[in-house]
Amino acid sequence: MKVIDLPSDQKPYVYFIFAQDQKDLQKFVNKRLKKLYENGTLEKLSKKYLGGSYLPDKKDMK
């Protein structure tokens, strides 16, 4: 693993790291996060616990 600097125009988001042999777990987590993003749950949690919306733009979601 290595640390890299992000250009100032990129927003620092949280990333999950999975072992290479955990493709099924990665797909499972990504699917659930996408659903929570789309139904507004992540937005509500961000505002409640972090005091604002700190989610990536929809265009940045993969």
pLDDT digits (tens), the chain, 62 positions: 566 665 655 556 667 788 889 999 989 988 999 999 999 999 999 899 888 888 888 887 76
**Residue 28 φ then ψ, to 5°:** -60, -50
Q: Would 42 be classed as within a structural domain?
A: yes
Q: What per-residue confidence (pLDDT) applies to 2?
A: 63
| Nearby residues of 55 by Cβ (< 8 Å), 6 or more positions away | 37, 42, 43, 46
Total of domains in the chain: 1
Q: Would 17 be classed as within a structural domain?
A: no
- Per the confidence metrics, is the pTM higher than 0.75? no
Domain of residue 44 covers 23-52
